[in-house]
Amino acid sequence: MYSEDSPNPEPNQNPNLDKLEQTENQPTDVLDQSPPEPENVNSPASFPPQENIQQNPNPELIRTEAELKQKIADLENTYHQLQAQLNSTHVAMGRLVEESLSELEQRKQALQIAVEQLERRQERIRKEMRTTFSGASQDLAVRVQGFKDYLTGSLQDLVIAAEQLQLVPVAKPTPEPERVTPKEVQPPQPETGTLQFAQQQFQETSRKIRRFIDQYRTKPDYYGPPWQLRRTFEPVHAERVSTWFFEQGGRGALRTMGSRLQNILVASAIISIMNELYGDRLRVLVLANSPERLGEWRRGLQDCLGIGRPDFGPDRGVVLFETAEAIAQKAERIVRGKEIPLIIVDDSEEQISLALLQFPYWLAFAPDPKTMRSNGFDDF
């Protein structure tokens, strides 16, 4: 302890002792105080400040924002590319349309030129057909083909005739009848029972014939039924047909048209009209002096009338002959069978047998003296 002699005693050097003394000296009511209440965790003071949030953003949001910006940039680039492609497509389409129109215009002009050339060629061919065939090679080909057709048909007809052949006593040969030229022929008076187109009492038949002629000339039917004219019928042909019906009464000679094809066309028109008047009773007999000419008649009638090979034969619609005696005998049998024979004589026949003039209907094409040849072949 301290001595009483020291005037200023030194303070206690241990601080812990001082605190202990102060505690012991505190009043008891201080010890009864309750402990402090805990702080509210939901109070605003418990959240971190907004500045801290902005300073430390979420990395996932940053990544999503970057992806969206990239997608927007890609879409903008795609839009600009599509817009450029659309513009280029419009330009290309416009150029393509212009080129196509130009090409079509050129093709149209080329087709028009080709059509004009074909029309001129068609007109030239028609003129040649009216006057002459073009070239000896075509003439030779026509003759060879005609002979081939005639030979085939003749062999078939020969087989049919041989099957129907009946053995009869041989008749005595009759003298050959006299021959006269077509210009010297005077048609005798027609027999009773046949139509005479030049007489007044047959006005109704005449009107029908004129109607058929006008129909063939103005309204040709290229796909009509068989035995109807299927070719172009011009006024010159109509004039010849009218002359034969109304001026010659179905019996007479007409000057050749210059070619066998034109003669066949006139004869086909007459056959078509006669078929309308008589139907199945009509039998057509054609006379020519060579197989190739008969072949031309066969093919020409098939082409103009739309008939086929079954319509040719000894007992069918059209029969082909090389001699006047054979055709006269056939016509007599037809008359006895109460059918109507129509005899057609090719212009290669310079004379007509008198035996043919007894029948009601016959048509002869008189050859043109200027075009006749000494070798027996006619000009086409």
| Measured distance CA(279)–CA(284) in Å, rounded | 12
For residue 377, is pLDDT > 60? no
**pLDDT of res. 123:** 86
Contact indicator for 254, 232 with CB cutoff of 8 Å = no
315/217: higher pLDDT = 217
Q: Cβ contacts of residue 273 below 8 Å, gap of 6+? A: 209, 212, 213, 241, 245
Separation in Å, CA 298 to CA 137, 151, 284: 21, 11, 12
**pLDDT of res. 189:** 44
**pLDDT of res. 141:** 67
- Tens of pLDDT, residue by residue over 169-214, are 444 445 544 444 444 444 444 444 455 554 555 688 888 999 999 9
Contact indicator for 322, 288 with CB cutoff of 8 Å = yes
Q: Write down the pTM of the prediction.
A: 0.49
Selection from 155, 180, 186 nearest residue 313 by Cα: 155
**pLDDT of res. 259:** 87
Average pLDDT in the 15-41 region? Answer: 48
- Tens of pLDDT, residue by residue over 148-178, are 777 777 776 677 767 666 544 444 445 544 4
**pLDDT of res. 268:** 93
Average pLDDT in the 67-86 region? Answer: 93
**pLDDT of res. 358:** 86
14/285: higher pLDDT = 285
The C-alpha R_g of the chain, in whole angstroms, comes to 60
Average pLDDT, the chain: 76
- Tens of pLDDT, residue by residue over 295-341, are 999 999 999 998 988 888 888 789 999 888 999 999 999 999 899 99
Is the Cα torsion angle 183, 254, 264, 127 positive or negative in sign?
positive
Q: How confident is the model at residue 130 (pLDDT cuts 50, 70, 90)?
A: low
The order of strands in the sheet holding 282-287 is: 251-255, 361-366, 340-345, 282-287, 318-321
| Cα-based angle 363, 366, 371 (whole degrees, multiple of 5) | 150
Q: How confident is the model at residue 142 (pLDDT cuts 50, 70, 90)?
A: low
